[in-house]
Amino acid sequence: MLFLPASPIGSEYLSLQAFSDNTGINRKPMKTDRPTIEKLFRDFEGKHVLILGDVMIDAYLRGKVERISPEAPVPVVQLNKRENLLGGAANVALNIRALGAVPVLCSVIGEDQRGQEFMQLLKDDGISGEGILQSDSRITTTKFRIIGNKVQMLRVDEEMDTDLNDREAERLLDKIRELMQRLPVSVVIFQDYDKGVLTRSLIEDVIQLANSKGVPVVVDPKKKHFDAYRGVDLFKPNLKELREGLKIDIDSGDIESIRSAVSHLQESQSIRSVMVTLSEAGVYLNEKADGKTNEVLVPAHLRNIADVSGAGDTVISVASLCRALGASSWLTAALSNLAGGLVCEFVGVVPVNRQRLMTEALELLTDSGLKTG
């Protein structure tokens, strides 16, 4: 999700537009009250969120560039710092934890050195690794970013994107069944990076399991299995993923075409809600329930953008907790939109700051702002 650079927080609030039906657009600004926001954040505490998907290590090699290599016309980076961070679905787990909830991370990594490093990173960040399986037939995905003079110069990916074999998929499904039987899981997130952990059969089995327990399912999709998430509660592609998944060409400013595409997706896949992140155009959410359609378009807030990496992970984290707690479509979209913007103000992949998100929500999404009297 991209947000436009702008003035500091609180200097401008863009009106939230609501689509009530097919007759036109209701442009009346929408807000909630302070107690609703405060209760929502309190209720985040302790909620168990099962996150299933591709995990990885984001590795950073940082240094300075002062010369060109004599071997080839490329810069030489003099390394002075190495840093390994949790990435992929594990970054969603970091966001869930930062919001006060309990991440239950499930994936498959390699029985390799990177796998050991990944498990140590989980431990260091206070995230349980009981849902992580290791396989001698896979490697642990690692993305190496080479940074010279504070500029990314090259990325090297060490990965495999073949599907889990039948034995690995069955082991993972068994683990998920055991965790969902033992823990009070409030929502399931599919976080797909097309690296092979999410197979079609596994997706179908986990959706069926969640539905049998009345647990909502939220999806952050990729192209390969875009059409595999039939019957989920919330489906969150960005505009690029929507284009690729439906094989259509849509501009972020063409809201009527977006509405039509989303409606087709909902009907063909029996999806209750679709939330599309539209970069600088904000977030569009369409919910169909009890024979009614509720649509909201939340424009992006103006911000100073440093890095958009990881914003989608933050958006799906906030949206999943909102769905688990039965928040309205508007509040789900508006709060997710705020959270995605917040993390874009920092360089690198960082989890959302819970207190700052709550402060912005009280200021921008309520009638009274931060006033208490």
Is the distance from CB of 321 to CB of 184 less than 8 angstroms? no
- Nearest Cα neighbor of 92 from 101, 108, 103 is 103
* 3-state secondary structure at position 260: helix
Query: Considering just the CA atoms, what is the radius of gyration of the chain in Å?
Result: 21
Catalytic residue at 58?
no
- Residue 24's CB is within 10 A of a number of other CB atoms, namely 8
CA distances from 231 to 205, 213, 217, 255, 284 (A): 12, 14, 9, 24, 20
Q: Which of 163, 229, 168 is nearest to 198 (CA)?
A: 163
Closest CA to 175 of 130, 211, 213: 130
Q: Which of 161, 233, 313, 367 is catalytic?
A: 313
From 225, 267, 265, 111, select the one nearest 275 (Cα to Cα).
265
Q: Which of 255, 264, 250 shows the shortest CA–CA distance to 284?
A: 255
Point out the residues that are catalytic: 313
